[in-house]
Amino acid sequence: MIQINNGTPRWIIIVIDFVLNTLALLFAYLMRFDLKANEELFQREWGLLSKSIVFYFLIKILVFYLFGIHKGLVRFTSTEDLSRIFKAVFTCSVIYFCAGLFRFYYLDGFFLFPMSVLIMEFLASFAFTVGSRFIVKLIYLEATKSKEKKKNVLIYGAGVSGLLTKRTIEKDVLISQKIIGFLDENNKLEGNRLEGVRIYASDKLEYLHKNVGVDNIILAVQNPNIDLVNKLVETCLNLNISIKKVPRPKSWINGEFSSKQLSEVRIEDLLGRKPISLNQEQISNDLNDQVILVTGAAGSIGSGLVRQIANYSPKKIILLDQSESPLYDLQQELLTNFSDVNFEFVIGDIRNYERLKRTFDYFKPQFVFHAAAYKHVPLMENNPSEAILTNVRGSKNLVDLAMEYEAKKFIMISTDKAVNPTNVMGASKRIAEIYSQIQNNKGKTKFVTTRFGNVLGSNGSVIPLFQRQIQQGGPVTVTDERVTRFFMTIPEACQLVLEAGSMGQGGEIFVFDMGKSVKIIDLAKKMIRLSGLELGKDIELKVIGLRPGEKLYEEVLAKEENTVKTHHPQILIAKTRTQDLSQLNEISELIQMFEDQKNIQLVKKMKKIVPEFISNNSEFEMLD
C-alpha cells in the first residue's frame, strides 16, 4: 500500500512546480520547431533565450509565491486551487508579453519569447501544474480507500441530486462502494451516460441484480413518483437490497451533502402522494395582513398550520395551547425560521372561557383555525367527561367568542371518526361540528369544517408507535388483521385545510380525498422489513384485539351523506342532514351534565344528540 506523507515540506512543491514549468518551456520550443531543431537552430535560439531565462524563472517563482499556489493541500486539490493556478500562470504570461514588448522596442529589437512559444508555454505550464496535483490526488485517494470488497450501488435518479450523490460517494474514502449505474423514471435516458456511468430504465433493477449484483440503492429524486418508488422498494425488499435516500436540499451545506446524511427510507416516504396544487393567490388574499388564531398550536396539525400560514405574510399569528414545553420548542423553531413574522405565544386552555375571552378581546383575531382537541380513542372512551369538556365545551367557547368578536372565518379541524362514530371521541367531534354548523347563519362569522383521516407522524399515531416498538425489539402490536386506515402527511393535511378554508362560504363540511386505505398489518410488516429485520426471526408481530371504541374501517362520509365536487380534485363538500335548532339545547345540557352525572349518562346524552353514534367493542354498547 502506498504511504502518503501528510507533512511534505512546501519547498518540495515549489521545486516540483519549478521543474514542471521548465519542462513546459522546453516543450513549447520543441512544438515550435516540430521536434526537428538542428544544432545551428538550437544555438541561435539559445543565444536569444539565455538573456531572458533568468527573468523567466524569477517571474514564475515570484508570481506563484504571491498567488500561494504552493499552500494548498495537493491531495485535496479543489476548483478553487485550479482557479488560483490559472490566474498565476496567466499573470506570468501577461508579464512575459509586456516584457517582450519592452525588450523589442527599447533594448535589442527581440521579443522575450516568440508569440507561439508564449502561447504554448501558457497552456503547457497550466496543464503540467494542474496535472501533477491531480496525479497526487488520485494516488492519495487510491492509497486511502478501503480495501474491503466494494459494494455495487445504483443511484435512483439521473438528475442534479443523483449527480451530487455520485460525487459524494466517490469522494468518501471511508466507504467501499462502486457506482455501477443510474436508474431513472425517464426511459428516454436509457443508454446514455452521466460522468461515465450508464443510465438504465427504472424497471431494470431485477435484471441488474441478476447479472451484475446490486447491494445498495440510493434514492436521489426529491419528488419521485410514489407508485414507482413503492414498486422499487418492494423489489429491493424482495431481493434483500439495502435502500437509502438523499437528504432534503435545505440540509445541504454549500450545495453538497455528506454520505453520513444518507438515511433509511421511511414508511412516510411510501404513503405520500403527488404534491398538492393550491390556489395561492386566493389563500394569500385571505390571510395576508390578518390576525390569525390557531388553537392546539403546539400539536401536529396546529404547528403544521402555523408553518403554512407564516408563508402568507399575516399581520400576527396567535399560537394558543395549554402544553407549555411543546409550545416553547415550537417558539424557538419559528423565531429562527420565520424571524419576519409577528408571533404571539399564549398559554391557555380552550375550556377556560374567561381566558379565551381575554385573548379575543385583546387580539381580535379575524381567522380562527381550531385544532385543539383530545383525539386518542381508548383514553376518551374511558374518560368521556374530558372529551366533552375539551372537544365540545372548548369548541363551543371558541365558536361563541368568534361570533361575538365577529371573526371572518372559523375553520374547525375535525376527523373521519366523526362519521358514524363508534366511540366517544368521534361523537364529541361530531357534536362540535353540529354546534358550529347551526351557528353559521347567526352572525357575520363563516364556520367551515374540515375532515380527514390519520396523519402520518402526528403525535400518538400508529407509525411512531410501531417505530418505538421496532427500536425496542418488539413485539409490534396490531389490534386486528382486518383493520384499515387512510393516511395523509402533515403538510398535505394542512395545505388542504388552508385551501378548504379559503373556498368555504360557511356551513360546509369539507372532506379530503385520503387516497387508498392501508391495511395496518401490512404497514407494520413493511416497516419491519425497512428496518432490516426479518419478521418471526428478529422481531415478533402480535395481534392484541380491537381497543374500546375502535373501528375496523374508517369512513369519511356517513351513509346519509353524499358529496359535491369543488374546483380542487382532492376536496369535496359533504351534503349533510339539516341540523335541528333543538340540538343547541341538548348540547348545552350535555355540558352542564358533566358536574353531577356518571359516564354512562353522559354517553347516553351524546347518543341522543348523534343518533348514528353506535358504540363498538365498548361498555357503552348496552346503550344502543
pLDDT-wise least confident of 13-17, 319-323, 468-472, 493-497: 13-17
Q: Do residues 247 and 263 lie in contact, with contact meaning Cβ atoms separated by under 8 Å?
A: yes
pLDDT of 345 over the 50 cut? yes
- Most confidently modeled range among 135-144, 243-252, 565-574: 565-574
Domain boundaries, the chain: 10-144, 151-265, 283-456+487-514+556-623
pLDDT of 147 over the 60 cut? no
Q: Is 250 exposed, middle or buried (0-12, 13-18, 19+ CB in 10 A)?
A: exposed
> Which pLDDT score, from 0 to 100, does residue 114 have?
77
Query: What span, in angstroms and rounded, lies between the C-alpha atoms of 414 and 612?
Result: 17
pLDDT-wise least confident of 33-47, 471-485, 584-598: 33-47
Query: What span, in angstroms and rounded, lies between the C-alpha atoms of 26 and 36?
Result: 13
Query: What span, in angstroms and rounded, lies between the C-alpha atoms of 326 and 339?
Result: 19
pLDDT digits (tens, 9 = 90+) for 596-615: 678 899 999 999 999 989 99
Q: Is the pTM for the entire model greater than 0.85?
A: no
Contacts of 486 (CB under 8 A, 6+ apart): 416, 452, 453, 454, 514, 515, 516, 517, 518, 554, 556
151-265 belongs to CATH 3.20.20.140? no
Percent of the chain's residues with pLDDT above 70:
83
pLDDT of 501 over the 70 cut? yes
> Which pLDDT score, from 0 to 100, does residue 7 have?
52
> Which pLDDT score, from 0 to 100, does residue 4 have?
41
Q: How confident is the model at residue 1 (pLDDT cuts 50, 70, 90)?
A: very low
DSSP-assigned letters across all residues of 467-512: HHHHHTT--EEES-TT-EE-EEEHHHHHHHHHHHHHH--SS-EEEE
Average pLDDT over residues 99-121: 75
> Which pLDDT score, from 0 to 100, does residue 149 have?
67
182: nearest Cα among 337, 86, 196, 457: 196
Q: How confident is the model at residue 186 (pLDDT cuts 50, 70, 90)?
A: confident
Q: Do residues 327 and 345 lie in contact, with contact meaning Cβ atoms separated by under 8 Å?
A: yes
pLDDT digits (tens, 9 = 90+) for 199-211: 888 888 888 888 8
Contacts of 514 (CB under 8 A, 6+ apart): 416, 452, 453, 486, 487, 488, 556
Query: What span, in angstroms and rounded, lies between the C-alpha atoms of 310 and 275?
Result: 19
Query: What span, in angstroms and rounded, lies between the C-alpha atoms of 352 and 501?
Result: 26
Q: Do residues 503 and 571 lie in contact, with contact meaning Cβ atoms separated by under 8 Å?
A: yes
Amino acid of residue 511: V
Query: What span, in angstroms and rounded, lies between the C-alpha atoms of 388 and 579?
Result: 20
Q: How confident is the model at residue 2 (pLDDT cuts 50, 70, 90)?
A: very low
Average pLDDT over residues 50-69: 76
pLDDT-wise least confident of 167-176, 295-304, 472-481: 167-176
Q: For the chain, what is the mean pLDDT? A: 81
> Which pLDDT score, from 0 to 100, does residue 429 have?
95
> Which pLDDT score, from 0 to 100, does residue 228 have?
79
Query: What span, in angstroms and rounded, lies between the C-alpha atoms of 300 and 415?
Result: 14
pLDDT of 215 over the 70 cut? yes
> Which pLDDT score, from 0 to 100, does residue 279 have?
74
> Which pLDDT score, from 0 to 100, does residue 148 have?
59
> Which pLDDT score, from 0 to 100, does residue 357 have?
96
417 carries an active-site annotation: yes
pLDDT of 502 over the 60 cut? yes
pLDDT of 6 over the 60 cut? no
pLDDT of 152 over the 60 cut? yes
Residue labelled with grid coordinates 358533566: 594
Q: How confident is the model at residue 30 (pLDDT cuts 50, 70, 90)?
A: confident
> Which pLDDT score, from 0 to 100, does residue 79 have?
65
Q: Is 131 exposed, middle or buried (0-12, 13-18, 19+ CB in 10 A)?
A: exposed
Q: Which of 166, 417, 551, 607 is catalytic?
A: 417
Q: How confident is the model at residue 307 (pLDDT cuts 50, 70, 90)?
A: very high
| Cα four-point dihedral sign 194, 198, 200, 204 | negative
> Which pLDDT score, from 0 to 100, does residue 34 have?
63
Query: What span, in angstroms and rounded, lies between the C-alpha atoms of 388 and 394?
Result: 8
DSSP 8-class letter at 515 = -
pLDDT digits (tens, 9 = 90+) for 242-297: 888 887 766 666 666 666 777 777 776 777 666 566 677 888 888 999 999 999 99
Q: How confident is the model at residue 584 (pLDDT cuts 50, 70, 90)?
A: confident
- Which of 3.30.9.10, 3.30.70.270, 3.40.50.720, 3.40.50.2300 is the CATH number of 283-456+487-514+556-623? 3.40.50.720
pLDDT-wise least confident of 54-68, 334-348, 403-417, 419-433: 54-68
Q: Do residues 24 and 125 lie in contact, with contact meaning Cβ atoms separated by under 8 Å?
A: yes
pLDDT digits (tens, 9 = 90+) for 506-528: 888 888 877 777 888 888 888 88
pLDDT-wise least confident of 253-262, 367-376, 383-392, 410-419: 253-262
Q: Which residue has the higher pLDDT, 524 or 403?
A: 403
Average pLDDT over residues 85-100: 82
Residue labelled with grid coordinates 425488499: 237
Average pLDDT over residues 81-103: 80
pLDDT of 3 over the 50 cut? no
Give the chain's end-to-end CA distance (angstroms, integer).
81
